[in-house]
Structure 1
Amino acid sequence: MGIGLSLELIVFLPLVAALIAGLGGRWIGELAAKAVTTGALFIAAALSWPIFLSYVAGGAEAQVVPVLDWIRSGDLVVDWALRVDSLTAVMLVVVTTVSSLVHLYSWGYMAEDKSQPRFFAYLSLFTFAMLMLVTADSLVQMFFGWEGVGLASYLLIGFWYYKPSANAAAMKAFVVNRVGDFGFSLGIFGTFLVFGTVSIPAILATVPSVAGSTIGFAGLRVDTMTLLCLLLFVGAMGKSAQLGLHTWLPDAMEGPTPVSALIHAATMVTAGVFMVCRLSPMFEASVTASHVVTYVGAATCFFAATVGCAQNDIKRVIAYSTCSQLGYMFFAAGVGAYGAAMFHLFTHAFFKALLFLGAGSVIHAMHHEQDMRFYGGLRKEIPVTFWVMVIGTLAITGVGVAGVGFAGYHSKDAILESAFAAGSVPGGVAFFLGGVAALLTSFYSWRLIFLTFFGDARWAASEHIQHALHGDHHDHPDEEHGDSSHSPAMPPAGTGGYHPHESPLTMLVPICLLAIGAVAAGFVFSHTFLDSKEFWNGSIAFDEHLAHAMHEVPLWVKYTATAAMLIGLAIAWNNYIRKPGLAAGFVAAVPGVYRFVANKWYFDELYDGIFVRPAMWLGGFFWKRGDEGTIDRFGPHGAAVAVGVGNRVTTRLQSGYLYSYALIMLLGLIGAATWALWWAR
């Protein structure tokens, strides 16, 4: 099978499956809908791996597969074509592998849901949109996929539409992403204005001739490439939940756990990183834009790690972890280590999907309880889930020695070493904040493990467990126990007579396969991503000097991440295993700091005061004073009132007496005669 046909099948099989399951789900039934969508994704994954391995082996060239002529409008020419090169091949493997395993996992997790065909159709539609994004040969086609994943994520986050919290989270994700997408669209408009094309290869080939020029913007003359890159980066900030446009990410946990794994592990949130790497020659032409990317990524990395330390909802801990890891990827790209950024994207997909799906297995075992304070002692009850979660934690915290370790050990260390080797002020700031974030990552990751799987069982105090014991079953999973972010108090020990159960094979098989990736993806592909210019073959801006310099950094730099991991592990063990009461004591000692972090630095409250409330007031003003008070009053309502008044007047004239009608007729004749005489004169 040729690569062109393989690529078309990879991209369009999920779309066909989504249409079959979404439109024909009632006729073909749940089982057929699940089988069609899951089968299509496994075929896509099976076709993606040979393409990726052909680039790993070397010698494979970029190829473009034409699909159709799309847009012809003046100078704007957009052909719908599928581009595959090493960068695309990496994303194909990541997207199809994680998506296929999420589909399989959902067989068990969503088994009791009444709308399974719709759910699987949304999953496949989301995957199709993401594949359209990563195979785009033009910025317009990329924007098509970009908006497609935004729409599909809205549908998936709000899948349980009868939950007000799910509706609010879906709307929040949609609105916040529209802010970023507005910047992205402006960047595309500006790029077309400057380059005269939206073809990505043509744009990147022309970058050297545009570098150093200026353009008028908002009454000022600014550097052309800086302006374009910053506008494009605003889009990346929204889609990849960077600081300022991150507020939608934790709320997106309202969707089912498989959605969390798909959106936050390997697909939607990595779209921004992919876009920056795809357009890396543009960012390399602007030092200012690269510095902005570095600072934003480093700040996000640190911010999200601090918030993750104070969360008690197991999914929110992992969600903020995603936000933090995306910060690593961005500051790697900002210092010019695009290979390291993509390497961490690749490894992160495996261990983060593993952690999310593992968390879903815990939630499934605990009757949909998500508050870790009501867990404890689960390692003997659900041993398979326990061990795969430990593997995922070893991967995200970067455990390894002598150059061999879990996936995160290779990719995260490479990012920190690259930031230090860059030798710039932004690189130094990123290295420092990244090192602190690595310590915090280790702390909250091991805190999750210790609270969930160790210590005494604390299940008796959970409302969800009590519902399970009394036979009160929910129609849908993932219902929150309430606001679990603020109180550090631990519930009393006790099982309440409840016995957790291990997940079915349809859930265990995917997380075990992801565990293999979390173990092996790092050391197997480390050289390929970090050192092989032949592998990237022009698909990203590859800095050979930086790739070499990162291996020559001082020894203390190489061991920074390992030291941070050990310190974080020691703190978590001391606070939650050795002396479980220490955590509550620390919170009591610094309640202000804890509230600040637990409330996510008050970004939601800040945005509510600056944007939401004024917007609601303005909308209410225009509604009451403008729409109802002016337009309706003098428009439709006013006309209706005038007709009513006229009707009442004419009703009084209808007396029913013949002499009254004769008098009116006479008066009319007199008036007509008077008018005629006056006109004749």
Structure 2
Amino acid sequence: MLLLALIPLLPLACFVVLGLFGKKYFSQSAGWLGTLVLATSAILSLYTAFNYFSDSGKDNGVYQAIVPVQLNWLPFTSDLSINLGILLDPISVMMLVVVTVVSLMVHIFSLGYMKGEERFATYYAFLSLFTFSMLGLVLSSNIFQIYIFWELVGVSSFLLIGFYFNKATAVAASKKAFIVTRFADFGFLIGILVLSYYSNTLDFKTLIERLSDPASAQSQAIGAASFLGASALTWALALVFMGGAGKSAMFPLHIWLPDAMEGPTPVSALIHAATMVVAGVYLVARLFPVFSTNESALMLIRYIGIFSAFFAAIIACTQTDIKRVLAYSTMSQIGYMMFALGLIPATDGHAAGFTASMFHLFTHAFFKSLLFLGAGAIIHYIHSNEMRDMGGLRKLMPVTHISFLIACLAIAGIWPFAGFFSKEEILHAAYQSDKPIYFIALITGGITAFYMFRLYFNIFWGHEQKHSHAHGEGPLSMKLPLILLAILSLVAGFIPFSHYVTADGRPVESHLDLLFSIAPLLIAVTGILLAGWLYKKANDKPARLAATLGGLYQSAYKKFYIDEIYLFLTKNILFNLVGRPAAWFDRHIVDGTMNWLASTTGKLSVRIKGLQSGQVQSYALYFFGGIAALGVIFIYLWK
């Protein structure tokens, strides 16, 4: 148990040490210390996963939810308390591996990428805090504990997105991410209160047992209570999903995600691959047994997920900043995971969408972190994020070129790369459950292949720019993570994932249907060929196509003006109709009342300060005058 507790505690200790003493004592070695700590956590995570999935996690052939550590922290009643514990089950163990491995790759890559930064130790302290926050989140044994780490993840992302605090855009981006996700987290908190009120527990295992069993008194009570035509359970799950949608940048709470690219590029890899954006998916998966009992909540998840996937893919086709293309790609892929979780389980109880979603979360972590770190290597080489400044880099950056190509093939769903297997699982589950969703997802897959290879050809082919950089492609610390992640993006799909991670813990067999795979592969290859025809060589075809599409292209390029709509609503409605009256009331009524009281007290004190003159004869006069007055009153009352 000590080894298990060390997995999150080591990054926490590293954060404390580097945060307090890093600048003075570890200015040069902070990176190596942080990397060594994360390597230890990663090794312990792999050891934990091996033990759990080999034998210790099973009971009668079913993987169990185990709580090896439980600390009673804040008791409210005999049944209701906030505990701090560690929960091990298939998805938490899987997430342990994902978070620590990807974080380790980011730590190693940052040794070269962030070398020479003035706040080098601070950067690694923030990375350690971020990793600790996510590890605490995935290991939480109760719903309020997960909320605590949920907010800590938000604080950590605020610090890292705004790491370059001398840039106004970075400061604005960090505030935007923090504020948008706070609105979503408010809904999450209300959902927690509703669920805990009716289930009379915060513990995940007990809460799920009580609310997923239709015969239980708690389940019947929360189902019978209603508000505005929907049951209390529907409202609670919708509010919990609201929190997940904010963290995972689902429409319409996605506006913070592209701006989050203002942070250092390795941070983007950590946020988009293994931490902040998958927290929402993990939350829904954690409570999936409860969600699966409510068709309204599943429908909400399914439609928000598929719309976000398609919407973000369209926008990604028009962006020119390579990190923003990858940001919208993340939003689209998270949409895939979300709608898969919203698919109705089969009549036999097997939730193929759940397993497929977790599988895609697993594979996506590797090829998306590879894409972001590859983008970091490119930006480090040419000092620009814009595709117009790139071209012909395949010869100058061979390691980055090959690894980036592997990641693009993986996210496009090309066999035998990892993304092919997990996407096929999602599409197959959608085809069995909701065919309209399946066709939209199929088209989105083709668009994904197109915009990713639009990015690939613009960077490594296209018009060859002249780049003369003496430092070359980068040090080994930047190349090694690319190589390792490229290998994982190649082999991760061959893991028999459904043997380990399912909704009920029972291993199942999943089979690859070659006939079913023809359509997704053809559409993906078509998207790649179209991108190659438009962008492999410098030409005017893209410009002519953009002109032909006219307003549609401009709308997509402007992200369908969602940010402008938010600015209009906040500035013209929220600020003018709510903010200004509230400010007037605060200034004139609240502050005015306090100022009047202070002024009146001051004037009164001026009037009566002569009473405290320090003259004994005056005090004696007041004393005898008081006695005389009391005597008069006494005589008057005696009569």
349, 355, 362: which one aligns with 1:339 = 355
Q: Which residue type is aligned with residue 540 of structure 1?
A: A
Give the aligned partner of residue 327 of structure 1. 335
Name the amino acid aligned to 2:42: A
Render the CA deviation track for 1:131-175: whole Å, top value 9, x for unaligned.
Answer: 111111110111111111011111111111111111111111111
Q: Within 5 A, what are the aligned runs for 1:211-250?
A: 211=219, 219-220=227-228, 222-250=230-258
Q: Provide the rounded CA distance (Å) in 1 between the counterparts of 2:161 and 2:410.
A: 27
Q: Does 1:616 align with 2:575?
A: yes
Cα distance, 1:455 vs structure 2? 2.4
Q: Is the 8 A contact 1:95 1:266 kept in 2?
A: yes
TM-score normalized with structure 2 length: 0.88
Partner amino acid, structure 2, of 1:110? M
The answer for the alignment partner of 2:381 in structure 1 is: 365
Matched, 1:447 2:445: no
Query: 1:413 aligned to 2:424?
Result: yes
Change (3 A) 1:167 1:80: same
| 1:125 matches 2:129 | yes
Contact 1:298–1:429 (CA under 8 A) maintained in structure 2: no
CA deviation vs aligned residue, 1:525-561 (integer Å, no higher than 9, x gap): 1x2x23x2xx24xx7247989x76x756x92x42222
How far apart are the structure 1 equivalents of 2:283 and 2:438?
23
| Cα distance per residue 1:106-143 (max 9 Å; x no partner) | 11111121001111111111111111111111101111
> Matches of residues 19-30 of structure 1 in structure 2 within 5 Å?
19-30=16-27
Q: Which moved more, 1:215-224 or 1:180-189?
A: 215-224
Partner of 2:522: 563
Equivalent in the alignment of 2:556: 597
Separation in structure 2 between the aligned mates of residue 309 and residue 438 of structure 1, nearest angstrom? 13
Distance of 1:496 and 1:20 partners within structure 2: 40
Deviation at 1:601, TM superposition (A): 1.4
Residue 314 (1) aligns with residue 322 (2): yes
**1:356 to 2:364 alignment:** no
Question: C-alpha distance in 2, partners of 1:322/1:227?
Answer: 28
Q: Give the Cα separation in 2 of the matches to 1:155 and 1:296.
A: 29
2:154 to 147, 150, 154: 150
1:67 CA drift (Å): 4.9
**8 Å contact kept, 1:240–1:273:** yes
| Aligned with residue 66 of structure 1, among 54, 69, 92 | 69
1:187 aligns with 2:191: yes
Within 5 Å, give how 1:20-99 maps onto structure 2: 20-58=17-55, 60-61=57-58, 62-74=65-77, 75-99=79-103
Measured in 2, the distance between the counterparts of 1:280 and 1:340 equals 13
Q: Give 1:176 shift.
A: 1.0
Aligned to 2:617: none
User: 1:248-263 residue pairs with structure 2 within 5 A?
Assistant: 248-263=256-271
Superposition map of 1:490-501 within 5 A: 495=466, 501=472
**Structure 1 portions without partners, runs of 5+:** 459-494, 651-671
Equivalent of 1:6 in 3, 25, 46: 3
Q: Compared with structure 1, are the counterparts of its residues 19 and 262 closer, same or farther at alpha carbon in structure 2 (3 Å cutoff)?
A: same
1:86 Cα offset (Å): 1.6
CA contact (8 A) 1:381 1:500 kept: no
Which residue of structure 1 aligns with residue 490 of structure 2? 519
1:187–1:559: structure 2 CA closer, same or farther, 3 Å change rule?
Answer: same
Query: Given the superposition, is the C-alpha separation of residues 634 and 204 from structure 1 closer, same or farther in structure 2, using an over 3 Å criterion?
Result: closer
Query: In the alignment, is residue 387 of structure 1 matched against residue 402 of structure 2?
Result: yes
Q: Deviations over 1:473-514 (max 9, x none)?
A: xxxxxxxxxxxxxxxxxxxxxx38667821111111111111
Partner SS state of residue 456, structure 1:
coil
1:427-506 equivalences in 2 (<5 Å): 427-458=434-465, 495=466, 501-506=472-477
What secondary structure does 2:81 align onto? strand
Partner deviation per Cα, 1:413-439 (whole Å, 9 max, x = no partner): 1111110012xxxx2222111111111
Is the 8 Å Cα contact of residues 198 and 221 (structure 2) preserved in structure 1?
no
Q: Which runs of 5+ in 2 are unaligned?
A: 59-64, 344-350, 609-625
Q: Distance in 2 between matches of 1:646 and 1:49?
A: 73
1:606 aligns with 565
CA distance, structure 2, for counterparts of residue 328 and residue 543 of structure 1: 24
Name the SS of the counterpart of 2:473 in structure 1: coil
Cα pair 2:316 2:324 within 8 Å, conserved:
yes
- Give the deviation of 1:618 after TM superposition: 4.5
Who is 2:612 aligned against?
Answer: none
CA distance in 2, matches of 1:497, 1:92: 41
**C-alpha contact 1:280 1:541 (8 A) present in aligned 2:** no
Deviations 1:384-422, CA, capped at 9 Å, x for gaps: 11111111111111111xxxx000010011111110012
Give the distance between the partners of 1:287 and 1:623, measured in 2 at CA: 40
Aligned to 1:305: 313
SS of alignment partner, residue 559 of structure 1: helix
C-alpha separation between the residues in 1 aligned to 2:317 and 2:84? 45
Q: Is the 8 A contact 1:215 1:222 kept in 2?
A: no
Q: How many residue pairs end up in the alignment?
A: 602
* Selected match of 2:536 from 565, 569, 577: 577
Give, as a single letter, the amino acid of the residue that structure 2 aligns with 1:333. Answer: L
Offset from partner CA, 1:252-290 (integer Å, 9 cap, x none):
001110110001111111111111111111011111211
Say whether the 8 Å CA contact 1:69–1:78 is kept in structure 2: yes
- Which of 459, 476, 479 aligns to 1:508? It is 479
The residue aligned with 2:62 is none
**Cα displacement (A) at 1:599:** 1.1
Match of 1:398 in 2: 413
SS at match of 2:184: helix
- AA aligned to 1:106 is S
